[in-house]
Structure 1
């Protein structure tokens, strides 16, 4: 089933998530920098330039949490071997980001004070984050960003078993109902309305068919459109009887 979203909803889907993510990361920066300063990080001379190492803590907390969440989602969708580690890291990163904000604000408002346990825990954040990111990025070849996923419902196509008909009563192997020309054209229109390219892969998602089957449907639609554009042949004139 396809849903034609109004313009403001489409815009919100495109702009909303990155905007919320950027604002959330910005709001997390002060608390994480403060927590790093409490743990003892300060200015460090780097090639003659004074660098406040505490300002790098947001990368080890909030940015790490965002990266882990994305990697965990991709690993789960593609069923990659490192999905358990990615999901565990994403949950741990979220807990770490929450604790960093809470502890920093509690210290600033004098509800709690720092101690050796807190300093030790905060100091351990960078090496733990580095170890987990290296573990996910240095995984075996079959967990790399290019991963082959078998296409769903990749069955052998048979025109007689899965035929697009005017009434949509064609059937494919296993008794699955075929699609009508109107249904396929409606799916193509929905892709165009959404601004997506009309490709077999995109059409397959809407039709819930394998890309190979969607490609056949797309070819049939193009053939029907080309046939409709051809001028109809004029009927042949009746033959007059021969007279002596």
Structure 2
């Protein structure tokens, strides 16, 4: 399927009509300067109008002929290419010099007249040379050889492209691996630092615990109250009519409520 089938209509119109339109416009813009050059060299009347044909049209024709001979591998490629380059340089120089003369930046001279006068003979000579060069037809063997060379070149370029992409992928993979290894090393260092800080903090806490005296338990320094004393306290409370409970007994004996309940239980068991 051709590429033009995928193009919208306006793109097709530009593709088809744009190139010849630009070519015609460029040639038309070149005409006044080249006519002025011809008049400066001594041509007058309708003859001066032929100078654009000798310069611009000749440059376009030489460029096309050179490209066709290059693509078809025909004889005369080198001279056609040289002629196309010379024709383009001549057309460019003619435009520049013509506008410089028109804007009074320079005046005509004998050398300029001689160069402009030599243009028609040079164009005729080169066109005859390209016309006389035999356009040898390529045989089927030559076409097959050129096709094989083209396929081999494309295969080599494709292999080089795959090789470059493969090397780039391997390089990126190594870079990612190195980044992961550096990240793992950083994590290991952070874990080691955290472990060291934890050990240091645990040591400081242990030292603080050893330095701080432990509080003595309530009642651990007190001696146990004999059961006889407990019974006497209970009897006194009964005589006074006081309610005997663990807390009231503890208050009477001067001990903890827990001990009061324990002593009350011992008395009741006895």
Scaled by the length of structure 2, the TM-score of the pair is 0.50
Quick check: which one's strand share is greater? 1
Distance in 2 of aligned mates of 1:123 and 1:41 = 9
2:8: which partner in 1?
6
Scaled by the length of structure 1, the TM-score of the pair is 0.55
Distance in 2 of aligned mates of 1:127 and 1:90 = 16
Q: Which has the larger radius of gyration?
A: 2
1:75: which partner in 2?
69
Counterparts of 1:1-244 in structure 2 under 5 Å?
Answer: 3=3, 4-43=6-45, 52-142=46-136, 148=139, 150-151=143-144, 152=147
Distance in 1 of aligned mates of 2:104 and 2:17 = 38
2:235: which partner in 1?
none
Deviation of the 1:140 alpha carbon: 2.2
Deviant stretches of 4+, over 2 Å:
146-149, 151-154
Distance in 1 of aligned mates of 2:31 and 2:7 = 35
Deviation of the 1:153 alpha carbon: 5.1
Deviation of the 1:81 alpha carbon: 1.3
Q: Give the gaps of 5 or more residues in structure 1.
A: 44-51, 155-244
What are the superposed Cα offsets for residues 91-141 of structure 1, whole Å, 9 maximum, x if unpaired?
Answer: 000000000000000001000011000000000000000000000001125
Q: Give the gaps of 5 or more residues in structure 2.
A: 150-270
Distance 1:147 1:107, change over 3 A: farther
Deviation of the 1:2 alpha carbon: 6.1
Distance 1:10 1:54, change over 3 A: same
Distance in 2 of aligned mates of 1:29 and 1:141 = 32
1:232: which partner in 2?
none
Distance in 2 of aligned mates of 1:23 and 1:119 = 27
